[in-house]
Structure 1
Amino acid sequence: MRHLRTLRRGLLSALFLAVWPLAAGAQDGAAKESADGIEDADPAWIITGQFSNDLFGGSDRHFTHGMRLSALSPEGIVPDFIEEAGKALPIFPDKGRLRVTYSLGQEMFTPERIELRELIEDDRPYAGWLYAGVGLVSATDDRLDNLELNVGMVGPASLADKTQIEYHKLIGVQVPEGWDNQLENEPGIVLYYEHKWRSLWKAKEGDVPLLADLPLLDKLQFDVTPHLGGALGNVYTYGAGGLTLRIGDDLPADYGPPRIRPALPGSDYFRPNDWFSWYFFAGAEGRVVLRNIFLDGNTFQDSHSVDKYPLVADLQAGVAVMLGEQLRLAYTHLWRTKEFREQDAPNQFGTLSLSVRF
């Protein structure tokens, strides 16, 4: 237990050290914004909480639970050295508006038959992932770039076993019995990059005349947002591409709600223009997977593993609502194709997210 407490303190300390220099530079950044005459820079912090669970899909297996808490900084408080480094990368546009994102998260994975104590050779390993992240986000009117580094632990140090066991006791369902077979402790690192093109095509007001006179539909909009991205590290290594379709009101307010990776990208960012706005969305993503520690097993020692499929696809649909120009609430339902050869059926799970501007 002592090494677990030490790990938790270490992750929180690392996050604090990453946040502190950025927070300390806030006044300098604000002064620079005023001196340069930049108008309409977003001054708000955005805090987002996400809760993903396969119970929304009627099962309790494979990717079974995930939580993520993130904080997106206002524009104008990014320290000069981070801003210069970001703009020096060819993946970021010169005129992009930069913000920094910080995150803490936990994910857990189990086989289908959690009532068994013995190792289940033909099903995926028990595994957990506890991480802290820091990233750089660049936005323009028509594109969004997100580069994020996650660092943490896979294995018992992730505390996934204790979290799931206590949660199942609390809600009175089957307690998982096989966590003694989980992957071994291993430091994890993964670098993510995502690029989105906003509004490949977007309808203007009045383009849908049959709906224009109905309440809440008088400003109906439609957009298509393709994306490319990938991950590199001992936790995940993959390339991804896909698109998202949206229909609703005030679509430029964001790039879709955030999701827990690997999944179709959204955005922690949102900035509505009305007191109430909404949209429905649907999307698809394909991934070429070279490395998935939760299927391939530990990197540096022997462990349980399964024979993964190199190609995985996600389909998703959901709804997002923004209230009072301060809150965004969204639900996403995701269907994922089989990830390994012994898997009996595709998986599905849901994600609730709540974002607050202040």
Structure 2
Amino acid sequence: MSINAQSNNEHLELKIDNDKLVLVDKYYTSGLFLTYRKDLEDSFVFKKENDNKLQLNITLGNETYTPTNLRSTDSRDFDRPYAGWFFIKTEIGKIKTNSAFFIAVETGITGEEALSGKIQTWAHEFFNIDVPTWTEEIESKFLVNLKAKYIWNAFFNKNQAFKYVIEPSLGTKDIYISNSIEYAFGKLNTFNTSSRNNFIDRTNTNELFGLISIGHKYVLHNTLIQGSLDYNDETFTTNNVPHIFEFKIGGSLKFKRNTLKLIYNFNTKETPLSSSHSFGTLSFSRNF
């Protein structure tokens, strides 16, 4: 392996989710994430062995959720609460030839301290869009979640691959289990270096592929919709829909150290009064 490949073991990604990319403005309306990733040379949480590699991921993120009716100050007009989520997530993964396992701790805050309302209000005023009222925003809380993720991969041939992902989450923010199946096609790198998994590729091998994914998420509790686990919130909350179906289609281009992704996301309704929702994802990342 070259000296360049040996040192090329870190990765930085900026990802933007926004439903304005698909001309919508409601529910999960925006997300901004900065993620640092690093290949680990020594055992940490997991044992480092010859047939695997270890990767550390640290994400700082902000998510914004709004009802359909942005102008109303009467929560009786809302199909979901206003909610902001500002968090940091630390994840460690063990990556093998055709499978990977990750565990993560996610901690953050809701309420005005999450700054989602201030950021969205400023953006809407700047672009002269309907300014949301942020009436009865989900209360300020400090929340903690433990998450796990298992990925299993199978190549049909060098240009086609199938991936299965299962991800449970347990904590004071949300409790759920999700399953998804993804089909990728195009110029694909090996599973443990592919940008479709956000794994670090020290060799900087180019990659170009499309993807289609379908999934199901069973949600037992979502604090950003239902409030605290004890259901004693004073601000507006509502019930969640436990079964959510998800669909994604998009593509990725990796050229040398850089990766660009564009994805269309769709999910069925999350509350009884809401409807299905779509949003776009745009990300850029670079190895260094």
TM, length-normalised to structure 1: 0.74
Residue by residue, what CA displacement relative to the aligned partner does 1:117-163 show, whole Å, maximum 9, x if unpaired?
22235510000000011110111111122211111101111011101
- Mapped to 1, the partners of 2:194 and 2:225 lie a distance apart of 29
Residue 93 of structure 1 deviates from its aligned partner by 8.6
CA gap of 1:234–1:256, structure 2 versus 1, over 3 A, is farther
* Secondary structure at the counterpart of residue 123 of structure 2: helix
Offset of residue 277 of structure 1: 2.4
Give the distance between the partners of 1:116 and 1:255, measured in 2 at CA.
48
Question: 65-74 vs 293-302, which deviates more?
Answer: 293-302
Q: What is the match of residue 240 of structure 1?
A: 178
- Determine which of 217, 237, 243 is the counterpart of 1:311: 243
Letter of the 2:12 counterpart: I
- The correspondence of residues 212-291 of structure 1 with structure 2, limited to 5 A, is 221-252=159-190, 267-271=197-201, 276-291=206-221
Counterparts of residues 93-242 of structure 1 (less than 5 Å): 95-120=51-76, 122-177=78-133, 179-198=134-153, 200-204=154-158, 221-242=159-180
Deviation at 1:276, TM superposition (A): 3.7
- SS of structure 2 residue aligned to 1:167: helix
Q: What is the CA distance between 1:254 and its match in structure 2? A: 6.0
Check if 1:335 corresponds to 2:273: no
Structure 2 runs not aligned, ≥5 long: none
Alpha-carbon offset, residue 275 of structure 1? 5.8
Aligned to 1:53: 18
Shift in alpha-carbon separation, 1:255–1:192, aligned structure 2, 3 A: farther
Question: Is the 1:246–1:281 contact (alpha carbons within 8 Å) kept by the matching residues of 2?
Answer: yes
Contact 1:253 1:273 in 2 (8 A): no
In the alignment, is the contact (CA less than 8 A) between 1:125 and 1:297 conserved in 2?
no
Deviations 1:14-47 (A, max 9, x none): xxxxxxxxxxxxxxxxxxxxxxxxxx86742100
Cα displacement string for residues 196-230 of structure 1 (whole angstroms, at most 9, x for unaligned residues): 112x23214xxxxxxxxxxxxxxxx0000111111
Letter aligned with residue 139 of structure 1: I
Q: Give 1:56 deviation, angstroms.
A: 1.8
SS in 2 for 1:190: strand
Distance 1:275 1:229, change over 3 A: closer
**Percent sequence identity over aligned pairs:** 20
Give CA deviations for 1:270-317 in whole Å, capped at 9, x if unaligned: 427566420000001111111111111234532322221111111000
Q: Which has the higher contact order (CA 8 A, sep 6+)?
A: 2
Compare the two structures and name the one with the higher strand fraction: 2
Q: Which amino acid in the other structure matches residue 155 of structure 2?
A: W
Task: Decide whether the 8 Å contact of 2:218 with 2:243 is kept in 1.
Answer: yes
List runs of 5+ in structure 1 lacking aligned partners: 1-39, 205-220, 258-265
- Larger-gyration structure (1/2): 1
Q: Is the 2:81–2:136 contact (alpha carbons within 8 Å) kept by the matching residues of 1?
A: yes
How does the TM-score come out when normalised to structure 2?
Answer: 0.90
Which has the larger share of helix?
1
User: Given the alignment of the two structures, is residue 69 of structure 1 paired with residue 69 of structure 2, yes or no?
Assistant: no
- Distance in 1, matches of 2:245 and 2:139, equals 28
- C-alpha separation in 1, matches of 2:148 and 2:200: 19
C-alpha separation in 1, matches of 2:51 and 2:174: 31
Amino acid at match of 1:336: N
The equivalent of 1:22 in structure 2 is none
